[in-house]
Structures are given as structure tokens and as C-alpha cells.
Structure 1
Amino acid sequence: MTARRLLLVFAGGSIGTAVRLAVGLWMPDAGGFPFATLAVNVLGALLIGILAARLPQTTGLRVFLGTGVLGGFTTYSAFMTGTVALWADAPLLAFVYAAGSLVLGLGAAALGLRLGRPRATHPVAEAAS
């Protein structure tokens, strides 16, 4: 870890955390259901998938955007505390939220990896043009 990479993570994390707070203020929990946390985690998983497919691990941009911005944007701790808080009043809804978050997050990450992969060129399509 170099000082440059640490600064990139710090700067990116500050941006991602601020954006997550803005989303939380824009999309408050309704009836105790953590909609904002679900939204940022699923969107973040999609974007991290795209980023992982597009940028090599060794680039400063991936450290800044992936570890920094998107690492600060997504939030495992809020996911867990939201699940526990929801469990106190609605255990079934808490289970659905936790399971749904995992399924949607995995699906979003897989979709991001697929969308982010460079497209293979097809010889037939090139010959037709």
C-alpha cells in the first residue's frame, strides 16, 4: 500500500459516503424498511461489477472508484443494523429484506460483470459492414 493509493481511497471514500448520506436523506426509510440501504447496496454491486470487469486491479482509478467511492457508497454495517432493527418489529419482513438484499446484490454484481466485459467482435458482422 502506497501513500498515493491510501489518499485515493480516502478521497473516494469521502465522496461515496457523502453520496450515500444524500441518498438516505432523499429516500428515507418508510415504515422502518431501509429502502435507501437496499438501493445503494444493489446499485453499488452493479457498479462494482462493471468496474471490476473494465479496469485492471492495479490502476489508481480502480482504487479510487472501487475501493474508495463505491466502498464508501455501499454499506454492510447499515444493512446488518437495518435488518436487526426490522427484525424487532417484523421478523418475516427482516428475513425477506436480508435474503432479497443478498439475491439482488449477487444478481446486480453478476450483471455488472457481464455488462462490463468487452464485447467480442464477430467476423460475420465485420464482413457485412
Structure 2
Amino acid sequence: MIYLLMGIGGMLGALLRYSLGEWIGTGGVALFPLGTLIVNFAGCFVLAFFYAATTTRFTVHPHFRSSFGTGFVGSFTTFSAFSREMTDLMGAGHLGSAALYAAGSLLGGFLATAAGVRLGTLKHRQTGEERGA
């Protein structure tokens, strides 16, 4: 069953990644591969939020956790596209864009992950009505 769930998650993540890439577009070798950057930031945030929330706030079945984390988010994000785009930028002589892309990807990925963990571990704030006041 886990393999089926992993495959479904992977298929959905890949379809979303492809759709966002088509929607954002690059037109060949772009001066800056914004689509991959956005997808990878979103993936860092979503994965960190999901794992933090399912560790501290509620639990989910391990099969769902794996199918979402490894399957969906794993196929949604793309280190290989990042690497290829870095090679394309450098090969086209866009060294400044390549450096900005590399540094921005690392820093942005860390910040998105930190934000996901922070929001995923926040405790629900009860209103006076929920506390019975």
C-alpha cells in the first residue's frame, strides 16, 4: 500500500511542479530561473511545516507522512533542475545570475524551512469562548 501512496504523491507533486513551471515559464535559458526558485522555496516551507506539525501538534499515519513528504514534496521540488540551471547560467556567461541563484537558493531555502518549522510548531491560541470564559 505504501508504494501506491508514494506513487500517487509523486505523481501529484510532479504534475504540480510541471504546471507551475509552465505557468511561470522561462523561455529557454533565463537570466534567472524564477520558477525553480519558487518551487524549491515552497517545497522547503511545506515539508518543514508538515513534519513539524505532525511531530508536535497532531499525528498522521506513517504511510501518509512518507507519501506526502517523500512522494509529493520530493517530486515537487527539484535539485536536479537547480543544478542544470546553474550549469546553463554559467555556460551562457551569466556568472552574476548564477552566483545570485546559488546564494539565494541556499539562503531562501533555509529561511523557508525555518519559517515552516516555526509555524508548524506554533500552539493553537484559544479564544475566551474556546476556554469556556
Q: What TM-score range do you get, normalising by the shorter chain?
A: 0.7 to 0.9
What is the one-letter code of the residue matched to 1:10? Answer: G
Task: Give the alignment's TM-score, normalised by structure 1.
Answer: 0.85
Q: Which moved more, 1:25-34 or 1:68-77?
A: 25-34
Q: Which runs of 4+ in 1 moved over 4 A?
A: none
Matches within 5 A, 1:82-121: 82-88=85-91, 89-119=93-123
1:24 aligns with 2:28: no
Residues 115 and 64 (structure 1 numbering): CA distance in 2 closer, same or farther, change over 3 Å? same
Aligned positions, number = 123
**Alignment partner of 2:21: what SS?**
helix
Give the fraction of aligned pairs with identical amino acids, expressed as a percent: 35
What's the counterpart of residue 53 of structure 2? Answer: 54
Q: Deviations over 1:97-121 (max 9, x none)?
A: 0110110011001100110014176
Q: Which moved more, 1:22-31 or 1:93-102?
A: 22-31
Task: Give the alignment's TM-score, normalised by structure 2.
Answer: 0.82
The structure showing larger relative contact order (alpha-carbon pairs under 8 Å, at least 6 residues apart) is 2
Following superposition, the deviation at residue 6 of structure 1 comes to 2.0
